[in-house]
Structure 1
Amino acid sequence: MSRAFLRLLAVACGLAAPCAAQAQAGDAVEVSVRPQPLRTALMEFGLQAGVTIDAGGSERCGTSRGVRGRMSVETALSRLTLGTNCAASRVSAGAYRIIRRTPGRAAPLHSTPAPSAPSTVATLDEVVVTAARADDLLLSRAPYGLSSLDGLTLERAGVTDLTGVAARVAGLTVTNLGPGRDKVFIRGMADGPVAGQAQALIGLYLDDVRLTYDAPDPALRLTDIERVEVLRGPQGALYGAGSMGGVVQVVTRAPDLTGFYGRATGEAALTSGGSPGATAELMINAPLFRDRLAVRLVGYDETIGGYVDDPALGLGNSGEVHRQGLRAAALWSPREGWTLRAGFLAQTLSADDSQYATLGPGSPYARRRRLAEPNRNDFDGLWASVEGDLGWGRLKASSSIQSHSLDARYDATPAAALFGLAGTAAMDQADDLSAAVHEIRLNGDQGARLKWSAGLFFSEYTHDGTVAVSDGAGGPAVLLRRREDHVDEAALFGDVRYALSDRLAVTVGARVFRIGVEHRSGTAGTPGFFEGEDALVDVAPRVVVEYDRGPFVFYALATEGYRGPGFNAGAEGAGGRQPFRSVRPDEITAGEIGARFSLLGGHLRGRAAVFVADWSDIQSDRFDDRGLPFTANLGDGRNEGLEGEVQWRSGPWTLDGHAVVNDPDLTHPDPGFDLGDDIRLPAVADFSLQ
């Protein structure tokens, strides 16, 4: 825990509660909702009709037949729930709750007493978000820099990967190196555009599976997705190492226990000045035992057309990408209140060349290289979890294993002479990564004022990497370097949220952790191997103050994030210059003050925040004079900025936008690494407006 973190605790804040209703019961609305699971149908209906619905009880309701036409809200809800296990109950003007039907009886729409606090009713675009590790957190009340995009919105916008998500989320940046090669940054905290041995700054998750450690984004296709959540700022207390900039969590649609249905889609695309593309997707949901066991299968095959020409190699429209994936999930509900989930994921992604141009403005999508640069990124994972109510708390235990393989070729001809080669030179890099992650978490509450969580975490991670330099024409390697890294992390974490009053609450949490690193590397032709061990033991704290004030929620927080130590393969730099054998751990300490609002009956929503982050001993993946990769400590950095998001919804129409201002600087460069006059943190714009 740093002194900078303690200084950030001198923060105060103020806040608010939800707004009320939109369309009234008798108002006629124009709706068009296709047959689908009731929960998804309700979400689509809510967006079109502008009503407030508590859909928390709709997960096991079954499949809706859909509804189309102009009618009252209550008539539309009756038709949507017809034939399902649930019904809509009117809570107040423009507010409804989904309830289970009594067996053997119909359950028409009727009124029930209004809840004591309007914040207990969630609009459908205010889904319960999980990235903050809370069981019942509504997006509109979240005292964090948290955004959520629902799957229907992503589908309608044609968003299929994180590059598309970044265009819709304030402060989210994806480098444009091509699918399977990109890095992801949040709020200007960027360590460089190229992925190497340094652990990722952002935690990328698909449900309970972490997708990246020290590898680029695997670019999983966002197919059959419930939502994507982006949690900004360091999340060391919640997620551990490798979440220094924040977390991106992709939540898939869970198997539906009550209905058999499927969907198949196909698309074709034409690229101006490039090759065509095509996509096929298939989804099948199958209950094996009604209300008890179901499976959901998703598969896809996609070709993205290439558009780069290389006259020197006689290549046209290179850079074509082929992506294939399969995802399977099973959900078993053995009894009320308990759920077991398991899943499998596999994706292969390959590109026949890299996607950059070097010629002038007369040929914007062309270059001249001596060798093509194909690459491959394959990912697969298994996961299982159990979640249930213990009476005094809620338990969730999860385990996952993953395998990640990357292969890439780089044209190293400009440095051929440095390797003793007279003609072309190719650098081939192969990385095999595997990980196992286990976590047990308990959440509970003692009355209305006190909520708590506690848990245990353990992970093991292995990375085997090879770098080989040859003439690129089948000749022997003139340089062959191998490395093996084993990293384990164990942690005890927890937090307590206490409501000092009906409006003011404070959350205090921490993660006590140990990271151990073992390294072994060697270069062919050089005697012996280098072996190193290191460890980091520390505490990552978190403090949040929130104040709920009418249509506003104000908050202030202080958090930390961290990455563990590491080692470099190959020789040390001369004269005290990097690369060094050892790489120091780095840490980000951040503070944020922000507010959310919901005005005009919930039609106008938004969030604004000002933030500051201090980054010590920045780890960054770099290249030496011969183009060989290593990890450097660049020094200390700082970013200050502000961001805002706003959204207007009226019936089926949505207008949203965001703006971010960053000032990311390297404040104290490390004397062992020469950056020249460039002291800006890389790869992030100072200002963005969408």
Structure 2
Amino acid sequence: MVRAFLCALVVVCGVTTPSISMAQGRSALQVSVSPQPLRSAVLDFGLQAGVSIDAAGTERCGPTRGVRGRLSVDVALSRLMLGTHCVATRVGDGAYRIVRVAASPPVVARTIAAPPTPVTPTTLDEVVVTASRTDNLLLSRAPYGLSSLDGVTLERAGVSDLDGVAARVSGLTVTNLGPGRDKLFIRGLADGPVAGQAQSLIGLYLDDVRLTYDAPDPALRLADIERVEVLRGPQGALYGAGSMGGVVQMVSRAPDLDGFYGRVTAEGALTAGGAPGDAVELMINAAILRDRLAVRVVGYDETVGGYIDDEALGLSNTGGMHRQGLRAAALLRLTPGWTLKTGFLAQTIDVDDSQYANLGADEPYARRRSLTEPSRNDFDGVWASVDGDLGWARLRASSSVQSHGLDARYDATPAAGLFGLTGTAALDQADDLSAAVHEVRLNGDFGARLKWSAGLFFSEYTHTRTVAISDGQGGPGVYRQHRRDHVDEAALFGDAAYALTDHLKITAGARLFRIGVEHRSETDGDPTQVSGEDALVDITPRLVIEYDRGPFVFYALATEGYRGPGFNAGAVPGGDQQPGRRVKPDEIVAGELGARFTLFEGRLRGRSAVFVADWRNIQSDRFDARGLPFTANLGDGRNRGIEGEVEWRDGPWTLDAHAVVNDPELTRPDPGFALGTDTRLPAVADFSVQGGVVHEVHLAHATVRSELRLGYVGPTDIALSPTSAGASAGYLTSSLGVGVEIDCWAIRALVDNLFNRSDDTFTFGNPFYASGDISTPQRPLTARLALTARF
């Protein structure tokens, strides 16, 4: 394995910009905050005063009357809290937290001891991020390719899926095969259009709990989410296998130990030329034992109308989705320094048909097929974690158990003759997946300059898959393959961060791991059962150098990611031709140089990075000449690129822009499955750019928020096999939304695909039909209207 420590890192930092002065405690400053919802008011105030404010507790606070004049921070916050039923408490030097109080009389900010659990300081979008596996890292100081989106902002924008997140950060790609069937890619590193036996490139997490192994994105509805974090680049040292491209972490809102309250949202949608949709979402928080025990429950039921017509089958508006989900969490404060959290999640997605077309540009929303292609995605899981202070370190232990069921059908009629059928043919694929994941992590420090973390990780994963061929009309099966794969991973990991000076810090870490694989499979008509075992034992390192100077943070890092070995079922051709019986493990070694900046008193924020990645023995889920799935090693590849994100806030206006340019290529194809020399890595565009403008105005007790977003995703190539390839010419995205909030009521109107474009977003839909004839058009112009009530 190539060692990331062999990557040369040089940081040249000569910036001597003075630190921005911070208004603290009793120092008087000029402030002007207009009447508005308290959350946005404290964000405005934090910007003006230069202090950090935890705004997570403002959800149940009333609107503020505003504050104006030359005042100290404490007095200004006290006046800002008048009539809101909330109070600002100081939790550190220049750091405050907003909490709900039982009585409504005005109270002044008071000084209290810092709580044993970490708080979330917020200045604008200045949050503590946890995807980097630390509990006290501010986003503006993060020496990584890390982005964080606030859950309130996503709610106001009507974002309920990760494809909406992808439109607001650079480098995140969500394929468009269909809800519950999509894959996630980051920074141009893609291993193919479909999910199969190869482990996912992106680690998908909910509250530090890994959701998937080799399954597609379960498409959890982003209901009652505190924030979504996107951590780029290989993260093998932090997260282990399955994080070669990065990590996407969804952080839900924790149960509130103070009071009973809730929120309900009802939404309706109309799609041009398609079927209507609707959604209902409910959240209830209840403090069972005040300041000790609380539960939080979120439920939703959603229908998304289809928009594809099948002329051969006489069907219209196919591809509709029905999604139902329930999530519950409980928080128990065992002692002032120890907490126990438990949770449960269940979601079901039913899709009546796939959403691709094949009749060309003149009929972009039509196709002709012999059979419908329904799919289903069932996900459920439970988890528990304990968090506490040992005195010499902070401990966090977590365990989760989950199951994932997938069912999908492909119309296989073009290959009917290969299986002895004379009419229609269907491939039905059923996957049953189960996982148990356990981790214990310690964080501590030796003095002010040295911080450390260490932990143990263990997981067990079982994937059972059945692939069957029949006529799709209820007749007997003519082909059946059944396989079972069991994967266990154990790891010991740790890192240490040492501050060489007040501005220069170095972090080094590593993960010692073992991945074991057991495979059993059998195929009808083949008397030989396939079995095998394999293992990978190695160390993956990580090195980060950061220079933090005033408004700038410069960093350089080298890191590694990996996936374990595997097996292919059924007959194999032998020799050097793929599929081979064994699938070799693959790895990515990557380097990155980047910078973050906060300028003009916090109004301008952003980051930029250049990166390079070397990918060895690329694993990719593919289809053979008959359309049956297998896993190939494509060879070696490389990606290099540049990305940037910037945000400007000035009064009621917020402008943001995100872009990435990368050059993913297959530099050394495996001769047993050659896709051609210098072939593009599949399923990811060479560049993409997005931008948005938000205007927020406060009128009496109402807040009016408007948002316009535009984006462009460049051309994309998908090489499915040595003889099959497809290409998307690029597409434009657009949306417009207007929302009004008055006390406990909110209404928003949203329009997606403003120009009603039908550009192809994903040139894959079915392995049995030529990719060049397939397009997945954008959803036509869709208007949504949502009403939210808080109680």
TM-score normalised by L of structure 1: 0.93
Task: Report what 1:12 is aligned to.
Answer: 11
Counterpart amino acid of residue 663 in structure 1: D
Task: Report what 1:334 is aligned to.
Answer: 334
Measured after TM superposition, the shift of residue 65 of structure 1 is 2.9
Conservation of the 8 A alpha-carbon contact between 1:101 and 1:107: no
**Aligned counterparts, 1:612-651, within 5 A:** 612-651=612-651
Measured after TM superposition, the shift of residue 21 of structure 1 is 5.9
Conservation of the 8 A alpha-carbon contact between 1:43 and 1:125: no
Conservation of the 8 A alpha-carbon contact between 1:53 and 1:98: no
Conservation of the 8 A alpha-carbon contact between 1:313 and 1:369: yes
Instruction: State the distance in 1 between where 2:484 and 2:368 align.
Output: 35
SS of 1:45 mapped into structure 2: helix
Task: Report what 1:186 is aligned to.
Answer: 186
Instruction: State the distance in 2 between where 1:257 and 1:109 align.
Output: 21
Measured after TM superposition, the shift of residue 269 of structure 1 is 0.3
Task: Report what 2:731 is aligned to.
Answer: none
Counterpart amino acid of residue 98 in structure 1: R
Bigger drift between 466-475 and 47-56 goes to 47-56
Conservation of the 8 A alpha-carbon contact between 1:63 and 1:259: no
Counterpart amino acid of residue 9 in structure 1: A
SS of 1:6 mapped into structure 2: helix
Deviation digits for residues 455-503 of structure 1 (CA, Å, limit 9, x no counterpart): 0000000000000000011111100000000000000000000000000
Task: Report what 1:555 is aligned to.
Answer: 555
Tell me if 1:29 matches 2:33: yes
Instruction: State the distance in 2 between where 1:90 and 1:404 align.
Output: 42
Conservation of the 8 A alpha-carbon contact between 1:18 and 1:552: no
Tell me if 1:268 matches 2:268: yes
Q: Closer, same or farther in 2 for the Cα pair 1:101/1:313, shift >3 Å?
A: closer
Aligned residue-pair number: 672
**Aligned counterparts, 1:533-552, within 5 A:** 533-552=533-552
Conservation of the 8 A alpha-carbon contact between 2:9 and 2:556: no
Conservation of the 8 A alpha-carbon contact between 1:77 and 1:88: no
Instruction: State the distance in 1 between where 2:68 and 2:368 align.
Output: 62
Instruction: State the distance in 2 between where 1:55 and 1:358 align.
Output: 53
Deviation digits for residues 615-661 of structure 1 (CA, Å, limit 9, x no counterpart): 00000000001100000000000001010100011234321111111
Conservation of the 8 A alpha-carbon contact between 1:13 and 1:546: no
Task: Report what 1:37 is aligned to.
Answer: none
SS of 2:153 mapped into structure 1: helix
Instruction: State the distance in 1 between where 2:225 and 2:410 align.
Output: 34
**Aligned counterparts, 1:69-468, within 5 A:** 78-80=79-81, 86-88=87-89, 97-98=96-97, 108-109=108-109, 123-468=123-468
Task: Report what 1:679 is aligned to.
Answer: 679
Deviation digits for residues 10-38 of structure 1 (CA, Å, limit 9, x no counterpart): 332437886456998553322321xxxxx
Instruction: State the distance in 1 between where 2:287 and 2:256 align.
Output: 7
Task: Report what 1:45 is aligned to.
Answer: 42
Task: Report what 1:611 is aligned to.
Answer: 611
Deviation digits for residues 414-452 of structure 1 (CA, Å, limit 9, x no counterpart): 111111110000000000000000000000011110000
Measured after TM superposition, the shift of residue 47 of structure 1 is 4.7
Conservation of the 8 A alpha-carbon contact between 1:647 and 1:655: yes
Conservation of the 8 A alpha-carbon contact between 1:579 and 1:630: yes
Q: Closer, same or farther in 2 for the Cα pair 1:495/1:90, shift >3 Å?
A: closer
Bigger drift between 382-391 and 75-84 goes to 75-84
Instruction: State the distance in 2 between where 1:64 and 1:301 align.
Output: 28
Counterpart amino acid of residue 62 in structure 2: R
Q: Closer, same or farther in 2 for the Cα pair 1:342/1:633, shift >3 Å?
A: same
Task: Report what 1:116 is aligned to.
Answer: none
Measured after TM superposition, the shift of residue 179 of structure 1 is 1.0
Counterpart amino acid of residue 493 in structure 1: F
Measured after TM superposition, the shift of residue 361 of structure 1 is 1.2
Task: Report what 1:115 is aligned to.
Answer: none
Q: Closer, same or farther in 2 for the Cα pair 1:137/1:166, shift >3 Å?
A: same
**Structure 2 runs not aligned, ≥5 long:** 113-119, 691-791
Measured after TM superposition, the shift of residue 165 of structure 1 is 0.5
Conservation of the 8 A alpha-carbon contact between 1:407 and 1:428: yes
Deviation digits for residues 43-76 of structure 1 (CA, Å, limit 9, x no counterpart): 66315874444335x7789942332567568556
Deviation digits for residues 275-320 of structure 1 (CA, Å, limit 9, x no counterpart): 0000100000000011110000000000011000001000000000
Conservation of the 8 A alpha-carbon contact between 1:586 and 1:619: yes
Q: Closer, same or farther in 2 for the Cα pair 1:543/1:17, shift >3 Å?
A: farther
Measured after TM superposition, the shift of residue 323 of structure 1 is 0.4
Counterpart amino acid of residue 559 in structure 1: T
Identity %: 68
**Aligned counterparts, 1:458-497, within 5 A:** 458-497=458-497
Measured after TM superposition, the shift of residue 528 of structure 1 is 3.4
Q: Closer, same or farther in 2 for the Cα pair 1:638/1:226, shift >3 Å?
A: same
Q: Closer, same or farther in 2 for the Cα pair 1:460/1:628, shift >3 Å?
A: same
Instruction: State the distance in 2 between where 1:600 and 1:409 align.
Output: 55
Conservation of the 8 A alpha-carbon contact between 1:89 and 1:96: yes
Conservation of the 8 A alpha-carbon contact between 2:522 and 2:569: yes
SS of 1:576 mapped into structure 2: coil
Conservation of the 8 A alpha-carbon contact between 1:62 and 1:257: no
Deviation digits for residues 158-214 of structure 1 (CA, Å, limit 9, x no counterpart): 111111101111111111111111100001110011111100000000113211111
Counterpart amino acid of residue 43 in structure 2: G
Instruction: State the distance in 2 between where 1:17 and 1:480 align.
Output: 69
Conservation of the 8 A alpha-carbon contact between 1:665 and 1:680: yes
Q: Closer, same or farther in 2 for the Cα pair 1:20/1:125, shift >3 Å?
A: farther
Deviation digits for residues 231-269 of structure 1 (CA, Å, limit 9, x no counterpart): 000000000000000000000000010121001110000
Deviation digits for residues 598-627 of structure 1 (CA, Å, limit 9, x no counterpart): 000011000010000000000000000110
Measured after TM superposition, the shift of residue 133 of structure 1 is 0.3
SS of 1:125 mapped into structure 2: coil
SS of 1:273 mapped into structure 2: coil
Tell me if 1:64 matches 2:61: yes
Instruction: State the distance in 2 between where 1:314 and 1:100 align.
Output: 58
Instruction: State the distance in 2 between where 1:89 and 1:241 align.
Output: 41
Q: Closer, same or farther in 2 for the Cα pair 1:176/1:514, shift >3 Å?
A: same
SS of 1:688 mapped into structure 2: strand
SS of 2:601 mapped into structure 1: coil
Instruction: State the distance in 2 between where 1:435 and 1:363 align.
Output: 43
Deviation digits for residues 648-681 of structure 1 (CA, Å, limit 9, x no counterpart): 1123432111111100010110111121467110
Instruction: State the distance in 1 between where 2:98 and 2:268 align.
Output: 42
Measured after TM superposition, the shift of residue 518 of structure 1 is 0.1
SS of 1:270 mapped into structure 2: strand
Task: Report what 1:55 is aligned to.
Answer: 53
TM-score normalised by L of structure 2: 0.81
Measured after TM superposition, the shift of residue 364 of structure 1 is 0.6
Conservation of the 8 A alpha-carbon contact between 1:22 and 1:602: no
Instruction: State the distance in 1 between where 2:12 and 2:121 align.
Output: 25
Deviation digits for residues 366-397 of structure 1 (CA, Å, limit 9, x no counterpart): 10000000000110010000001111110000
Instruction: State the distance in 2 between where 1:516 and 1:18 align.
Output: 50
Measured after TM superposition, the shift of residue 573 of structure 1 is 2.4
